[in-house]
């Protein structure tokens, strides 16, 4: 045996960098005398660029999980980190920048401003981020194109179909080029055919622009469009697996 020190073979890193880290998170709500435990010691992580679906019965904690990841609600215990930084260590201002610049939200009921048109809805987050008018115009144009709505730009939400409204909402969520997209039942208010198209668009745009996408759905077929599927039940993760393709 040589007295040279054995050199350990370098192990190739196969795991991707963790982007969202949920550690031992619990959250409960109190309604009068009754306490509902919405999340029970949930631990899981998401790597950059992952496309993940969450399914589970009504009341299983899906929305609560998205809300605490998206800094829309606080955890009772445990921690959530985004890009290595704990949400609980951030001040209000930092959290509002995070919500504006790092996270894009898509909701079941679209949440568009009713009194302004599609174009203005998409421009809103850019105004809040203090972008110059010329830059905003260019970006809105690109976003409208990416969701195939150039021709509906002047329509107010009530002059758009459900699928079109959700496409406006997707463009708005992408406006500030966030790294993370959170979508809570984005197809819940759409018929199944339109819903699938809208979800496919959301997934395609997320992949093209290398976003991490986490979406909640009730439809098995929609869940299977993700690369990874998470099942929740009674505040816990009961299954977490890669979609066989």
Contacts with Mg ion, residue ranges (CB under 5 A): 63
Using the rule CB under 6 A, is 187 a contact of ligand ATP?
Answer: no
Rounded distance, CA 162 to CA 155, Å? 13
List 36, 113, 150, 238, residue binding ligand ATP (CB under 6 A): 36
Using the rule CB under 6 A, is 38 a contact of ligand ATP?
Answer: yes
- Residue 104 is classified by DSSP as E
Using the rule CB under 6 A, is 60 a contact of ligand ATP?
Answer: yes
Which does residue 31 touch among ligand ATP, Mg ion, none (CB within 5 to 8 A, set by kind)?
ligand ATP
**Shortest spacing between CB 202 and Mg ion, in angstroms:** 17
Using the rule CB under 6 A, is 55 a contact of ligand ATP?
Answer: no
Using the rule CB under 6 A, is 62 a contact of ligand ATP?
Answer: yes
Grouping H, G, I as helix, E, B as strand and the rest as coil, residue 24 is: strand
Burial class (CB in 10 A: 0-12, 13-18, 19+), 210: exposed
Using the rule CB under 6 A, is 34 a contact of ligand ATP?
Answer: no
166 CB-side CA count, 13 A: 24
CA 187 to centroid of chain Cα atoms: 14
Rounded distance, CA 163 to CA 125, Å? 21
Using the rule CB under 6 A, is 61 a contact of ligand ATP?
Answer: yes
Site residues for ligand ATP per CB under 6 A = 29, 31, 36, 38, 56, 58-64
């Amino acid at each position: 045996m040589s007295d040279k020190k054995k050199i350990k073979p370098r192990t190739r890193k196969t795991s991707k960098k963790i982007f969202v880290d949920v550690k031992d998170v619990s959250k409960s709500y109190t309604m009068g005398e009754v306490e509902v435990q919405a999340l029970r010691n949930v631990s899981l992580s998401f790597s950059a660029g992952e496309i993940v679906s969450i399914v589970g019965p009504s009341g299983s904690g899906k929305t609560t999980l998205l809300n605490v990841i998206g800094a829309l609600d606080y955890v009772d215990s445990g921690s959530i980190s985004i890009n290595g930084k704990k949400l609980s260590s951030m001040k209000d201002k930092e959290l509002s920048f995070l919500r504006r610049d790092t996270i894009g939200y898509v909701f079941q009921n679209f949440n568009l401003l009713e009194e302004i048109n599609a174009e203005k809805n998409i421009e809103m987050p850019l105004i809040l981020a203090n972008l110059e008018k010329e830059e905003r115009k260019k970006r809105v144009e690109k976003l409208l194109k990416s969701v195939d709505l150039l021709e509906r730009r002047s329509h107010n939400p009530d002059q758009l179909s459900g699928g079109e409204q959700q496409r406006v909402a997707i463009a708005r969520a992408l406006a500030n080029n966030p790294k993370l997209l959170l979508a809570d039942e984005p197809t819940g208010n759409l018929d199944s055919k339109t819903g699938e198209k809208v979800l496919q668009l959301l997934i395609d745009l997320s992949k093209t622009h290398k976003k991490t996408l986490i979406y909640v759905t009730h439809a098995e077929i929609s869940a299977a469009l993700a690369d990874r599927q998470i099942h929740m039940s009674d505040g816990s993760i009961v299954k977490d697996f890669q979609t066989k393709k």
